[in-house]
Structure 1
Amino acid sequence: GGGATEMELSKGLKKHAVGIAGKEQLVMNMFAKSLEVIPRIIADNAGLDSLDIINRLRSIHFNNDKDGTEDTLYVGVDIVHGTGNNKESFVWEPLLVKVNALKAATEAACTILSIDETVRNPKSEQEEQQRRIKKSIPNAGKRR
Structure 2
Amino acid sequence: FAGSGAAPATDQHTEDAFVTVSRPEDLQRELDAAKARGQWVMLDYYADWCVSCKVMEKQVFARSDVQAGLAGVHLLRLDVTADTPASQALLQRYQVPGPPSIIWVGPEGDERRARRITGEVDAAAFLQHWTQTRSQG
TM-score (norm 1): 0.28
Which structure carries more helix by proportion? 1
Bigger share in strand: 2
Structure with more relative contact order (C-alpha pairs < 8 Å, separation 6 or more)? 2
Bigger-Rg structure (1/2): 1
Scaled by the length of structure 2, what TM-score is found?
0.29
